[in-house]
A and B are shown apart, each in its own frame.
Chain A
C-alpha cells in the first residue's frame, strides 16, 4: 500500500509546487560589516546539540560579530567540565574576549577566573545570574529564570487557570527547575513532569498520559518551543481541553501562537543575548563601556501572545526571533 501510493504520488509529479527552500528565501540577519579593527571573541555555551533555542543565540552573536568585524569562535558542550575546557583552549589561543554561559557555575569557576586574571575580559549570558558577579565576570545578559517562572505563574493566575502541568525536558537542569519553581511560587497549583527531550514520541505519550490521569489540568506549560508544539498534539490525543503555554520560541511556535494553538510564550530574546554578549566585548575593548553598570541586563521575560505576535512574525521568518 505504501509503495503503491508512493509511486502514484511520484508518477503525478516529482517536484513540489509549494513550500521548500525556493519559496523560503530567508532574509539575512540584520548585520552589515564595519571597518573597525578586528578582534577575536570565543563564544562558549552549554548548548545541547540540535536545540533550536541556541540557533537564535548563535545568530545574534554572529550578527554582532559581523557588524563589529569580529572573528567569532563558537563552541558548545553541555558537559560542565568539557565546557570549562573550552574556556581553557580560548585562553590558550589568546582570544580578545570570552562570552560564556554559566549553567554549571561550579565547573566553570576556575577557568573563568583564570581568564580574567590573564587579562581576558569575560561576559556571561543565559545562565548563572546568581554567580557571575562573584566570579568577577564583567557583564551578564539573560533572564532570571525564577523571575521568568513567577511571571508565567502570574499570567496563569490572570488567565484564570486552575491547574498547570510544568513539563521539564531535561531532568536535573537547574535553569529549567527554577522556571517551574518560579511558576509554582506565584501559581501554587503547578505540577512537574519529566520527559526525555531527545525523544519526541515519548514526550507526546508522556504528556498525553498525564492529561488522561489528571483531568483537572487545564494548562500545559512547556519550557521550550518544540515541546509546546508536541504538547498541542498530546492535548488533542487526550481529548483534553487544556491550553498550551510555553517558554521560548522558534519559527513554528510563532505560527502556532498566531493560529491560536499555543496561548502565549515567555520570550527571553535569545538573539539579543548572543548579540549583546559579543557587542559588549567590542564596546569594552574599543570604548571601555560596561553595559548594565555592574548589574545584570535582563533580556526577558517578555510575553508573545496573539496581541503582539504579528510584530514578531516577520523576524521569526528569517530565524532571528
Chain B
C-alpha cells in the first residue's frame, strides 16, 4: 500500500515541455470544473435579472435544498465516472434504502435506528454487488447496473406489497428512535433569514471530503488511473478491482444517506419513486466536467452541476414562466451549461 502513484513527470526534469509552467489564468481555465462555474454564474445572473423572488436571501434555503438532493448523489456518481464506470441503479437505490429502513423497523417492530443501520448494510451491499458482478462477468457497468436497476425496481415494489399489502411503507413516525433519526437526517438549521435543510450540510461535507480524497490522497490517484486506463493502472500496481468496488460502495453509501432523508422527511416512502433520477445525477456530473469515458473530472464540478440543476428547476418557478414549457426550458438551460463548459475547456486546452 506504500507504492504512491505520483503525477508522472513531476519529479523529472522541469525543462521537459510536457511540464512547462503555464500562467495562472490558463491553469485555472484548464480545471475541469471551470466550465460549470461559468455556466452557474450565467444562470445565476439570468435568474437574478428576471425572477424577483430569486433575489430574496431567505429563498436561498429552498434553492440549496433542491440542489443538495441532487448533489449528495452527484458527488459519488462523479467519482465513479472519473473511475470509468456508470451506475444506473443509483436512483432507485435511494428508494431501496429508504424502503428497507422503514420496512425492517416496521415489520419486526424494531427501533428505527436498527432499520437505519440494516439499510446501510444493504445499500453498501448493493454497491459491492454491482462492483463484484462487474469483475465477475467482465460486462460493461452500463449493462450490469441496468440489470440491478430493474431488479431493485421490482424488489422495491414486490417486497413492499408483500410486507404491507400496499405500495407505500406504513407511517413509522410513532416508533422508537424516529425523533432522533429525524433530527439526524431530516432536520433544519436556521442561519439568520435562511433556513437550511440538513441535506445541504451533508452535501457540502461530502463535496469537501471527496474533493480532498480525489486531489490530495493516493486513492484519488488510483481513481484517475483506473478511469484513464485500467490495464496500465493494474500494471503499475493500482488495486483496480478494490478501487472500483469501493467507488460503487461510495455510491451505495450516499444512496443510503439520501434514502434516509427521504424516509425521515416524508415519514413514508412510495415504492415507485426514484426512477429516472440516475440520469439527473449523471447530468450533474457531466455538467461538472466529468467525461463519459472516465479518467477526467471533478467532484466540485459535479456539485456545481447540481447547483445549476437546482437553480434552473426553481428559477423557472421563481420567474413565473409558463409551466407548459418547464421541461423544455430545463433542457435548454442544461444544454447551454454543457456547451459553455465544453467551449471554455477547449479554449483553455488550445493555449
CA distance A238 to B160 in the complex (A): 33
Q: Nearest Cβ distance between residue A259 and chain B, in whole angstroms? A: 12
Count of interface residues, chain B, beta-carbon cutoff 8 Å: 70
Q: Nearest Cβ distance between residue A261 and chain B, in whole angstroms? A: 12
B213 in the interface (beta carbon within 8 A): no
- A201 touching B317 by the CB < 8 A rule? no
CA distance A49 to B166 in the complex (A): 11
- B262 touching A201 by the CB < 8 A rule? yes
- A50 touching B167 by the CB < 8 A rule? yes
Interface string of A80-92 (1 = CB under 8 A from B): 0000000000000
Given contacts A16-B176, A198-B275, contact A54 B167 (CB under 8 A): yes
Given contacts A14-B110, A19-B172, A54-B167, contact A192 B177 (CB under 8 A): no
- A213 touching B318 by the CB < 8 A rule? yes
B246 in the interface (beta carbon within 8 A): no
A285 in the interface (beta carbon within 8 A): no
Chain A residue numbers with a CB within 8 Å of B268 are 226, 252
Chain B residue numbers with a CB within 8 Å of A202 are 66, 69, 313
B229 in the interface (beta carbon within 8 A): no
Name the residue on A nearest B272 (C-beta). A50
Looking at the complex, which one of B52, B107, B270, B314 makes contact with A209 (CB distance below 8 Å)?
B314
B19 in the interface (beta carbon within 8 A): no
- A212 touching B172 by the CB < 8 A rule? no
- B323 touching A49 by the CB < 8 A rule? no
Name the residue on A nearest B109 (C-beta). A20
Chain B residue numbers with a CB within 8 Å of A18 are 174-176
Given contacts A49-B272, A51-B270, contact A21 B66 (CB under 8 A): no
Looking at the complex, which one of B65, B113, B319, B327 makes contact with A205 (CB distance below 8 Å)?
B65
Looking at the complex, which one of B59, B261, B327 makes contact with A212 (CB distance below 8 Å)?
B59
Given contacts A55-B166, A201-B262, A233-B265, contact A193 B317 (CB under 8 A): yes
Main DSSP-derived SS at the B contact region: helix
Q: Nearest Cβ distance between residue A56 and chain B, in whole angstroms? A: 9
Q: Nearest Cβ distance between residue B215 and chain A, in whole angstroms? A: 25
Q: Which of A2-10, A96-104, A290-298, A300-308 contacts B (4 or more CB under 8 A)?
A: A2-10
Chain A residue numbers with a CB within 8 Å of B113 are 6, 9-10
CA distance A194 to B328 in the complex (A): 12
Main DSSP-derived SS at the A contact region: helix
19 pairs, CB–CB < 8 Å, chain A vs chain B: A1-B184, A9-B111, A9-B181, A10-B114, A15-B111, A19-B174, A21-B107, A48-B272, A49-B272, A54-B167, A55-B167, A198-B274, A205-B66, A205-B314, A209-B66, A212-B53, A212-B318, A213-B319, A252-B267
A175 in the interface (beta carbon within 8 A): no
- A213 touching B167 by the CB < 8 A rule? no
Q: Which of B314-334 contact A (CB under 8 A)?
A: 314, 317-320, 323, 326-327
CA distance A250 to B167 in the complex (A): 11
CA distance A317 to B174 in the complex (A): 15
Q: Which of B141-160 contact A (CB under 8 A)?
A: 153, 156-157, 160
CA distance A2 to B180 in the complex (A): 10
CA distance A23 to B167 in the complex (A): 19
Q: Nearest Cβ distance between residue A282 and chain B, in whole angstroms? A: 23
Q: Which of A197-230 contact B (CB under 8 A)?
A: 198-202, 204-206, 208-210, 212-214, 226, 229-230
Looking at the complex, which one of B62, B107, B177 makes contact with A237 (CB distance below 8 Å)?
B62
B56 in the interface (beta carbon within 8 A): yes
- A50 touching B112 by the CB < 8 A rule? no
- A199 touching B180 by the CB < 8 A rule? no
Interface string of B277-289 (1 = CB under 8 A from A): 1000000000000
- A252 touching B153 by the CB < 8 A rule? no
A311 in the interface (beta carbon within 8 A): no
B97 in the interface (beta carbon within 8 A): no
Looking at the complex, which one of A9, A16, A52, A198 makes contact with B166 (CB distance below 8 Å)?
A52
CA distance A251 to B319 in the complex (A): 36
Residues of A with Cβ closer than 8 Å to B?
A: 1-2, 5-6, 9-10, 12-24, 26, 48-52, 54-55, 171, 192-194, 196, 198-202, 204-206, 208-210, 212-214, 226, 229-230, 233, 237-238, 250-252, 319
- B51 touching A213 by the CB < 8 A rule? yes
B266 in the interface (beta carbon within 8 A): yes
Looking at the complex, which one of B108, B272, B323 makes contact with A192 (CB distance below 8 Å)?
B323
B209 in the interface (beta carbon within 8 A): no
Name the residue on A nearest B310 (C-beta). A205
Q: Nearest Cβ distance between residue B265 and chain A, in whole angstroms? A: 7
CA distance A5 to B157 in the complex (A): 31
Looking at the complex, which one of B112, B262, B314 makes contact with A200 (CB distance below 8 Å)?
B262
B218 in the interface (beta carbon within 8 A): no
Given contacts A49-B272, A201-B265, 12 further A-B contacts (CB under 8 A): A10-B114, A15-B176, A18-B174, A21-B108, A55-B168, A194-B326, A198-B276, A204-B65, A205-B62, A208-B62, A213-B51, A213-B52
Interface string of B283-318 (1 = CB under 8 A from A): 000000000000000000000000000100110011
Name the residue on B nearest A171 (C-beta). B327
Q: Choose among A16, A21, A54, A196 the residue with the greatest number of B CB atoms under 10 Å from its CB.
A: A16
- A206 touching B274 by the CB < 8 A rule? no
Chain B residue numbers with a CB within 8 Å of A16 are 105, 109-112, 175-177
Chain B residue numbers with a CB within 8 Å of A6 are 113, 116-117, 181, 184
Q: Which of B166-190 contact A (CB under 8 A)?
A: 166-168, 170-177, 180-181, 184
Name the residue on A nearest B67 (C-beta). A205
Chain B residue numbers with a CB within 8 Å of A9 are 111-113, 176-177, 180-181
Q: Nearest Cβ distance between residue A244 and chain B, in whole angstroms? A: 15
Chain A residue numbers with a CB within 8 Å of B319 are 213
Q: Nearest Cβ distance between residue B268 and chain A, in whole angstroms? A: 6
Chain A residue numbers with a CB within 8 Å of B175 are 16, 18-20
CA distance A209 to B319 in the complex (A): 10
Name the residue on B nearest A196 (C-beta). B276
Chain A residue numbers with a CB within 8 Å of B172 are 19-20
Chain A residue numbers with a CB within 8 Å of B109 are 15-16, 19-23
Chain B residue numbers with a CB within 8 Å of A48 are 272
